[in-house]
Structure 1
Amino acid sequence: MGVTPLIWIITIAVTVAFFIWEFYAHVRKPHEPTIAESAKWSAFYIALALLFGVGIGMVSGWQFGGEYFAGYLTEKALSVDNLFVFLLVMSAFAVPKMYQQKVLLIGIAIALIMRGIFIAVGATLIANFSWIFYIFGALLLVLAYRQAFASHDNDPQNLRIVQFARRHLPFVDQYHGDKMSVKIDGKRFFTPMLLVIVAIGFVDLIFAVDSIPAIYGLTEEAYIVFTANAFALMGLRQLYFLIGGLLERLVYLAQGLAVILSFIGIKLISHALKVNELPFINGGEPVKWVPEIPIWFSLGFIATTIIVATVLSLWKTRKDAGREAGDVEQEPASRH
């Protein structure tokens, strides 16, 4: 793809500038964003991501453009699942809505840093060890299984890292604005806001483990991996407030993501066989008969899976709501 160090520097600088601007323009003054505000900025960031993908396609070719769009779709879907857990953390710690923007921005910044580290490590491994695709593929298949049967019912306050912080640091029970620490009678105490950030950071680490191998199954270009992740995370704060009520209706999101992760896992193992160097597999020679899954098929499969999972989720929740309404109407009548 031919990405120069200067392009990397400019890209990272612009990404950091966006987060700084987000803080000063939207988060510095605590407030609960309106639906209109969230919708406007969500549309802006999605449009920006799509334009960037078109730019990659026009400058570097549509093979890379397709890889970017497939990666962006996958990371956006995983980010929505990430939002569900963010919502769970916010509810568990009873974070006031006017302070949730700051928590989200910090959480998203931590997520990008975590993913940046994993991207660099992944790129190094891929460049030096072709067999790493076997490990990535197997990891995604395991994560897909766990995703399919995932439960979001666990209380984030029971996380070991949160319990460790509670045991070893002095905490107060009340929030003091959006501060993470406060002085009381000359002594420094931490507020529940710090525990929220710790929980969010831990969640980000877990999600980085599956998101980076997933996108490396679609492209080996570290620049595409980074920008797809950055654009997927940009606007996530606004999306949280825009679809907060919708998240609980996406009952098949986990299963949809499991299908996507399984597909990419199989794609990674297929690619590993094509470039095989392990002596105990086919005598250390590439397995030529294994088909290469084209990027256009990957893009179509991922998009279709997301659409089907969303439509089925909304259909099921609407059907369940109708059934509950019918039961409520029948209950008074049965008493006569």
Structure 2
Amino acid sequence: MTQLPGWFEVTSLVVILAILVVDLAVIGRRPHVPTFTESARWVGVYVGLALVFAGLVWVVGGPAPAGEFVAGWLTEYSLSLDNLFVFALILGSFAVPRALQQGALMIGILIALVLRAALILAGAAIIDRFTAVFYLFGAILVVTAVSMLRADDVEEYRENLTIRLVRRVMPVSTEFDSRRLVTRIDGRKLLTPMALVILSLGTTDLLFALDSIPAIFGLTTDPFIVFTTNIFALMGLRQLYFMLGGLMERLAYLKYGLAAVLAFIGVKLVLEALHTNRLPFINHGEPVGWAPEIATWVSLVVIAGCLGVAGLVSVLKPPRQDAPA
């Protein structure tokens, strides 16, 4: 694994943080419902930033980490599309006014990034000490792939444990008070529904990260690459939400492509675990030499191919309206 210079990692994180702060400031100054054109333009900007960053990684670290970043970014970005459905369920369940949705999504995504960073650091520490955890990660991804194929497309939002605990501890008002998280009614201080929406967006994303982060660790074990792929995947997700809207329903076969990607990375993780095997009940505790190695470029081709085919089939041959997707 090629280690990127420390100065590059620090500079990159500072610049990315500055972009997020500016983005948040723009939303705070002018809350509105973005048009399709505006959303598409910003999605293009964030995709362009990700590709520019990949080019910088290539210049500084070479093709290996750049390929890992692109493969990881594609995987995380495609897996994060599932978040859009959940975002819609959460915003609809709380009846968030359209003009306030952009700000709620932005802050919720920032909370998600902080929680993912903690999860990534924990995952990197575990992998550094116990490489056998790759067996577990691989099994999780294969099971998730099977579950994704068997899952019903009709979902219903249910408040997670964090939101239920907050409701028990703090009184919550029934109406929004602009973008405020706390309001006063008859002298009582209450949380607004906006506070619950933001918490729900951030903490619910963590459930998705339990699948997506093992997937990215199957492509690279560099915590910096893992974290930056997550940042660039989530940065443009807010604009993508407003750009696609109901069009996401047309990607009926996307879940099959995602399931194939997860299953592939799950198998890749198991193969890598066999290369560094120390479990006594597998090959007497010795590495398994015959296990094939899957190069990064192969992973990139498989990931792009699975997602491209799923998207193309969804567009060219959509399912009948009277048939389940």
Aligned to 2:243: 242
Contact kept, 8 Å, 1:110 with 1:204, in 2: the verdict is: no
Report the Cα distance in structure 1 between the residues aligned to 2:313 and 2:90, rounded to whole angstroms: 26
- Offset of residue 152 of structure 1: 5.4
The 3 A distance-change label for structure 1 pair 110 and 178 is same
Q: 1:164 to 1:124 in 2, by over 3 A?
A: closer
Cα 1:69–1:56 shift into 2, 3 Å: same
With normalisation by structure 2, the TM-score equals 0.93
Aligned residue in 2 for 1:285:
286
Distance 2:115 2:150 in 1: 25
> In structure 1, what is the equivalent of residue 195 of structure 2?
194
Rounded to whole Å, the distance in 1 between the matches of 2:42 and 2:33 is 14
TM-score by length of structure 1 reads 0.90
- Aligned partner of 1:180 in structure 2 is 181
Distance in 2 of aligned mates of 1:27 and 1:250? 32
Q: Deviations over 1:172-202 (max 9, x none)?
A: 2211112222111211112221221222122
Instruction: Give yes or no for contact 1:252–1:313 (8 Å, CA) kept in 2.
Output: yes
**2:131 corresponds to 1:130:** yes
Alpha-carbon separation, structure 2, partners of 1:186 and 1:289? 71
2:143 corresponding residue in structure 1: 142
Is structure 2 residue 317 aligned with structure 1 residue 320? no
What percent identity do the matched residue pairs reach? 45
Shift of 1:163: 3.5
Task: Give the equivalent residue in structure 2 for 1:253.
Answer: 254
Distance 2:14 2:148 in 1: 34
Relative to structure 1, the CA distance from residue 122 to residue 144 in structure 2 (aligned partners, 3 Å threshold; closer, same or farther) is same
Say yes or no: does 1:156 pair with 2:149: no
Q: Match of 2:167? A: 166
Match of 1:69 in 2: 70
- Which residue identity lines up with residue 310 of structure 1 in the other structure? G
Segments of structure 1 that go 5 or more residues without pairing to the other structure are 325-336
Report deviation, 1:148.
2.2
Distance 1:309 1:28 in 2: 39
Cα pair 1:23 1:105 within 8 Å, conserved: yes
Whether the aligned pair in 2 keeps the contact of 1:274 and 1:288 (CA below 8 Å) is: yes
Alignment pair present for 1:58 and 2:59? yes
Corresponding residue for residue 308 of structure 1: 309
1:167 positional shift: 3.7
Matched residue, 1:87:
88
Conservation of the 8 A alpha-carbon contact between 2:69 and 2:229: yes
Letter in 2 for 1:17: A
Q: CA deviation at 1:244?
A: 1.4
Larger Rg: 1
Mapped to 1, the partners of 2:194 and 2:316 lie a distance apart of: 37
3-state SS, counterpart of residue 170 of structure 1: coil
- How far has the Cα of 1:170 moved from its partner? 1.4
Gapped regions of structure 2 (runs ≥ 5): none
Q: Could you report, residue by residue, the CA deviation over 1:296-326 in whole angstroms, capped at 9, with x for unpaired residues?
A: 1110111111112212223454x525x79xx
Secondary structure of 1:320 counterpart: coil
Give CA-to-partner distance per residue, 1:259-316, whole Å, 9 cap, x none.
Answer: 1111100000011001111111101111111110111111011111111221222345
Residue number in structure 2 paired with 1:208: 209
Contact 2:72-2:229 within 8 A present in 1 as well: yes
